[in-house]
Amino acid sequence: MIDLADRFPDAEIFLFLAIMHSFNSVQDPTTLRKNAINILKLYAACGADLKRFMIFNPADVPGHAQLNRVLTCITHMWFMERMHSYKEALDKWKAKEINVGVFCYPILMAADILLYDTDLVPVGKDQKQHVEYARDIAMKFNNTFGETFKIPEPYIEPDVWLIIWIDNRKMSKSYNNYIWLLDDEKTILKRVKQISTNTQTVEEPKDPDTCNVYKLCKLFLTPEEDGKLRKRYEVWGLSYKDTKEYLYEKIISFLKPIQEKYAKISDQEIIDLLAKNAKIVNEIAQKKVQEVYQKIGFTLK
């Protein structure tokens, strides 16, 4: 998001809190609120410009729930049953464990996107299908009720569209195989030491592209640093202990300024920002909702 903001200095940027989505699985109010504040503080700590980025809570904007209801009514069950996560649950005999919110998650995501005439939606590989759902739902609405929604495009950065951890699954909080932005040095070191490597000795040249440590290192490297590290792999003298220490240092140097900035941001600062932005976002969202309501017949005039 920050890279895109630099690339398109005149673009409007909406960065929202997925609290309505989190309620699918986190239904303890204290935990939900704490997580929400932490995430928004991390947005700011990672470099989101609080004056330019429209950071908001969709639960403060009725338009999200209103449009979600409309889009749910025009979307068929067979269409939703194509969803990868639902089919995966069926394969694991876990369909009965999915609540309706999880099943309809892509429709809420479509509402989040379509309310604001969005051009680009930055996502990871696993979210690409959800943006495609938003596109399909928007086109169906436009074909039925007339041109209303802009058709969004997914924006996927190839270098980070899917980050694989040492268990060969995507790095995810759900799998507990991730490094959190607020992890302490001891926790990070433990995670890095767990990375598996092959049995090649220090004297043997190594293929960086087959090394889990290198793949993670590359996320933090400039092209020049990447070239130097690859050369070290391709000649003798590099130990996997060295590569893990290098990765650890890169992660710490990346996270330290984020953690320092995070510590300086108060909860109240974030709460005040949300209150201010809710007024701006509500005005935009309600214009789109009223246009939709007029076209589908909810407005009785």
Sort 258 into a burial class: Cβ within 10 Å, 0-12 / 13-18 / 19+.
middle
Distance of CA 1 to the CA centre of its chain: 10
- How many CB atoms neighbour CB 58 within 10 A? 24
* 184 within 8 A of 203, measured Cβ to Cβ: no
Instruction: List active site positions.
Output: 92, 170, 173
Long-range contacts, 73-82 (Cβ 8 Å, 24+): 74/137, 74/140, 74/141, 74/144, 75/107, 75/137, 75/140, 79/133, 79/136, 80/104, 80/106, 80/107
Instruction: Return the closest-CA partner of residue 196 out of 235, 229, 172, 168.
Output: 168
Query: Residue 228 and residue 224: Cα distance in Å, rounded?
Result: 6
